[in-house]
Structure 1
């Protein structure tokens, strides 16, 4: 058997197969084999360059897609043909290229947040869906007043598998959960409580309810904080509401001033009262002690007097004269046995005192 050029055919496995087939099929196979050999091995230079460049590009793409880096605040969830295979820690890792293995980065150590009613530039949540801030903030309070409530939910991804696979669009689901809980909590309170004294209680209650719902739905999310921002009335009643709010603030200011004055005056009066009471107690103790001392001294004198009445009587008489005589100007001593007043002793003259 000869080839189409009249030369001998090369011996080999192809020859055995061709000899067993019809001549038409043998011709078609031989022609296709020759064209393929010319294209890859012996074809024109442009076709060879294109084939070589394609092979190099294929190898480069495969090598480039075979490794990936996980940041320090994240983990990677690896899927092979869509099926979960592993959860990879931070660092450099390799995978099967060309889309066979897909690694999804999940920031488990980063605190994420969703803003309701406003948007902070550069602080967008990567899992956040488009929002209608105006609709989210419009709420009705328990006393049938309207309020525009803005708040922030800060959360972390605690379970990457649940976050990726248990709930479709977890970011949007979290927004719906947060909005539902906030409307429920605000609807249980008056507008004054929402704006003034009830903010902290609303934040705490909303945090507990949001965490309970995310756990129930197995969202893989841990709520860290719920923080209320601006709370305003709707535009048509803004001016009237501001006047009422200013009046309430003025009332609170006056009450605080009265309490400050009360706290300044009442403790001073109480201090003076305690001082007067202590002084009265001291005076009472002093008088009682003096009276008890006088009584004890009199009792002692009485005991001594009963032992020697005459001596005690004379001593008391002499002590009395010692106290009385220095205050008398003219002193005349008369003998009790004389019958006239001529024999006398002028004590004043004797002491150098002029009559």
Structure 2
């Protein structure tokens, strides 16, 4: 049965066995008695004379242990520690478990291995008074922890202001087409050089590794027109590349034709020279024969010339005796009309005999005339 249930149970734990109601214990009284025992109270000291000194030493030892334990700290692998003794730089610490006297030294840890990024963007005015939005990003890392911590008040903020200044300076001295299209790489390189020139005098202990050109675009209100202009510029570059490719393709062909024409001209030259030399050699061989028998030689030359001429034509001219008329036999038309491919036309034999006799008489008369002309020509040449 519980002590406070009805029925006359008097097992109240706060009452002594004599029946006196003493209530719950007073906490103030408990703590007062405890501190009196340790020697810190203002009341009557305990009978042991050395107990107060032992308590103070125990507390002091505990505090020393706590102070010593609180001095342990860890520097991570990618970090370096800058130790300050009473606020003044003392030394650097390498990664690992370290100890420092608390309240005397303080440690600032700086990550020197990670690559940090910092973006920057905004609307900017170009040299030709156009507005573009440029987005860039830099990558950097800390190389000197002490300078990064104490050279400037806010190194990241200072670097951000320097980046904004470099971008605006370069864009302000560039044309819009260069920033948006073909000059992006030059713009990025110029921003990198300008940023390096701004940051170097501050000696902030950082190294700018790279500047990335993320985006450059015109305002949304005129974006459609700028897209058309950029497309036209891209078409221009494409046409230029196609023209250059066509030039590279057609140039070897033209050079080959030039070489072939040169070789043909050289071959024709050699042919004409050799033919002329052959004619000269033939004339030199014919000259002694002509000197020995001029009449016979002229007649043979005449007959060979007529044979060569008449062998290349299909027309025959016949001069009939005593009439003064010229008869023309179109052998080519006769062959076409009769459908004969090769061979002689079907004409009477007496007609052919008349043609042959007439031709021979004409050839004899013409040969005598030509012989006279040839004789006079060779005689003139010999004289």
Output the CA distance in 1 between the equivalents of 2:298 and 2:103.
Answer: 129
Q: Which residue of 1 aligns with 2:119?
A: 115
Q: Does 1:80 align with 2:89?
A: no
TM-score w.r.t. the length of structure 2 is 0.57
Structure having the higher Rg:
2
Output the CA distance in 2 between the equivalents of 1:107 and 1:318.
Answer: 115
TM-score w.r.t. the length of structure 1 is 0.61
SS in 2 for 1:296: helix
Cα distance change, pair 69–35 in 1 and its aligned pair in 2 (3 A): farther
Cα distance change, pair 232–104 in 1 and its aligned pair in 2 (3 A): same
Output the CA distance in 2 between the equivalents of 1:35 and 1:245.
Answer: 96
SS in 2 for 1:76: strand
How far residue 282 of structure 1 moved from its aligned partner, in angstroms, is 2.5
Output the CA distance in 2 between the equivalents of 1:69 and 1:315.
Answer: 123
Q: Which residue of 2 aligns with 1:65?
A: 71
Which of 245, 249, 252 matches 2:230?
A: 249
How far residue 284 of structure 1 moved from its aligned partner, in angstroms, is 1.2
Cα distance change, pair 270–200 in 1 and its aligned pair in 2 (3 A): closer
After superposition, the C-alpha distances for 1:294-333 in whole angstroms (9 at most, x for unaligned) are 22333334454566767899999999999969x8x9999x
After superposition, the C-alpha distances for 1:27-86 in whole angstroms (9 at most, x for unaligned) are xxxx88988833464x7xxx99xx57x855752552353353341x33222222222222
Asked if structure 2 preserves the Cα contact closer than 8 Å seen for 1:112 and 1:156, the reply is: yes
**Matched residue count:** 271
Cα distance change, pair 252–158 in 1 and its aligned pair in 2 (3 A): same
Between 57-66 and 205-214, the greater mean CA deviation after superposition:
57-66
After superposition, the C-alpha distances for 1:132-188 in whole angstroms (9 at most, x for unaligned) are xxxxx2433333433332211211223222222221111111111111222222222
Q: Tell me, which stretches of 5 or more residues in structure 2 are unaligned?
A: 1-43, 312-343, 345-352, 361-383
Asked if structure 1 preserves the Cα contact closer than 8 Å seen for 2:72 and 2:98, the reply is: yes
How far residue 253 of structure 1 moved from its aligned partner, in angstroms, is 4.0
Output the CA distance in 2 between the equivalents of 1:160 and 1:317.
Answer: 119
Q: Which residue of 1 aligns with 2:341?
A: none
Output the CA distance in 1 between the equivalents of 2:199 and 2:105.
Answer: 29
Q: Which residue of 2 aligns with 1:155?
A: 140
Between 283-292 and 97-106, the greater mean CA deviation after superposition:
97-106
Q: Tell me, which stretches of 5 or more residues in structure 1 are unaligned?
A: 1-30, 118-136, 335-355
Asked if structure 2 preserves the Cα contact closer than 8 Å seen for 1:79 and 1:85, the reply is: yes
Cα distance change, pair 35–103 in 1 and its aligned pair in 2 (3 A): farther
Asked which structure has the greater RCO (Cα within 8 Å, sep 6+), the reply is 1
How far residue 248 of structure 1 moved from its aligned partner, in angstroms, is 0.8
Which of 45, 50, 60 matches 1:37?
A: 50
Asked if structure 1 preserves the Cα contact closer than 8 Å seen for 2:75 and 2:109, the reply is: no
Output the CA distance in 2 between the equivalents of 1:291 and 1:180.
Answer: 80
> How well do the aligned residues superpose, as a CA RMSD in angstroms?
4.2
Output the CA distance in 1 between the equivalents of 2:255 and 2:68.
Answer: 91
Q: Which residue of 1 aligns with 2:372?
A: none
